[in-house]
Amino acid sequence: MWKVVIHRPGGYDRLRLESCRAPEPGRGEARVEVEAIGVNYADCVVRMGLYASAREYVGWPITPGFELAGRVTALGPPGAEPSALSLGDRVIGVVRFGAYATEVAVPCSQLFPLPAELSLEEAAAFPAVHLTAYYALHLATRVQAGQRVLVHSAAGGVGGALCQLAARAGARVVGIVGGAHKLAAASALGAERVIDKRAGELVAAARAAAPEGYDLVLDANGASTLRASYELLRPSGTLVVYGFHSMLPRRGGRPSYLKLAWDYLRTPRFNPLELTQRNRSIAAFNLSYLFDRGELLRQAMDELLAWRRAGELRPPRLTRFPLEQVAQAQRELESGATTGKLVLIP
């Protein structure tokens, strides 16, 4: 088998495709022959050595990747929980790192039957962004019909999923995108109004779209927009933080530690007294620390796949790369020019 291995942090040259023995599934695990792999910005952060849970749970060397789709080729001894998987089943898999490979051993509890409505490539691009959006809107907060919701990076993978899930709940969605070529994509995903942040003053445009403020603002940018996002909340509103992407490079693949330090210093610190007096809340999360909450994963995936089967969620636009072009895939994703999701094809 082949897998992408990163031996130490750095740029795109750290992504090495290496040959190794196929994994033997352990108790309660299945081996999956991987046919498609979802690419996420978190994978790039892992490569740079800045993803905290990657350091804590794996260290170096590491194989990145959180999501995959493929076929069950072997089953380990039964685990504590019974599994309905059989050899040859087509499945969607969710893993805490390790998906950039041609074969992966995955706990059966983290594998889900492939819906007939999804191709393998669409399936591989489905879990990470939709689980993130689901957690943000249905567990970290409770999105409701009629609420005003502001979504940053609304044409991207997570941003597009947030737009769809919020619109599905009956919320009124305003999306922010990073270029005119992304306006139509965000609109198609459920945003009633889309703001091109390169076309003018972002905060003024966001205020004009919702003069009374927003019930939810969903922001993965970090220092560049967090303070503005907080100020756009209405009383009882919640800012949801799930990343710090603007602190990281758009080109070159290597972080600037001087910029990281500066952005860290200018990241807003929120005073609990002020939060109380202004009736505002902040919620933050990282799903890679929640793999021990299997019940949450099962609940979220069951609902998300049911909504997909019912036609209530549309798959993202896909851009495909062969596995051996993994460096190019990450370069494109970091550029900020892509829409939808990128997938690797072994």
Given a contact cutoff of 8 angstroms between Cβ atoms, the answer to whether 172 and 116 are in contact is no
141-284: what fold?
Rossmann fold (3.40.50)
112 touches 69 (CB < 8 A): no
Domain pair 2-127+301-345 / 141-284, same fold = no
Q: Supply the pLDDT for residue 316.
A: 83
| pLDDT, position 302 | 94
SS3 for 189? coil
pLDDT at 174: 98
SS3 (DSSP) at 218? strand
The CATH number of the structural domain formed by 2-127+301-345 is 3.90.180.10
Extents of the domains making up the chain: 2-127+301-345, 141-284
* CB distance 313 to 168 below 8 Å: yes
- At residue 256, the pLDDT reads 85
Q: Give the H/E segment covering residue 3.
A: strand 2-5
- The β-bridge partners of 110 are none
pLDDT at position 229, please?
A: 97
pLDDT tens, N- to C-terminus, the chain (346 residues): 999 999 999 999 999 999 999 999 999 999 999 999 999 999 999 999 999 999 999 999 999 999 999 999 999 998 777 788 999 999 999 999 999 999 999 999 999 999 888 999 999 999 999 999 999 999 999 999 999 999 999 998 999 999 999 999 999 999 999 999 999 999 999 999 999 998 888 999 999 999 999 999 999 999 999 999 999 999 999 999 999 988 887 777 888 888 889 989 999 999 999 999 999 999 999 999 999 898 999 999 999 999 999 999 988 889 999 999 999 999 999 988 888 899 999 9
Task: Show the tokens assigned to 296.
Answer: 């949450």
pLDDT number for residue 296: 92
The one-letter amino acid code at 279 reads: N
Cα pseudo-dihedral 70, 76, 78, 80, rounded to 10? -80
Q: Provide CB contacts within 8 A for 280, sequence distance 6+.
A: 230, 233, 235, 236, 237, 238, 239
- pLDDT, residue 253, reads 84
pLDDT reported for residue 81: 78
pTM of the model: 0.94
H-helix or E-strand spanning residue 203: helix 202-209
DSSP labels, 258-322 = HHHHHHHHHS----HHHHHHHT-EEEE--GGG-TT-HHHHHHHHHHHHHHHHTT-S-PPPEEEEE
Residue position matching structure tokens 């380990």? 76
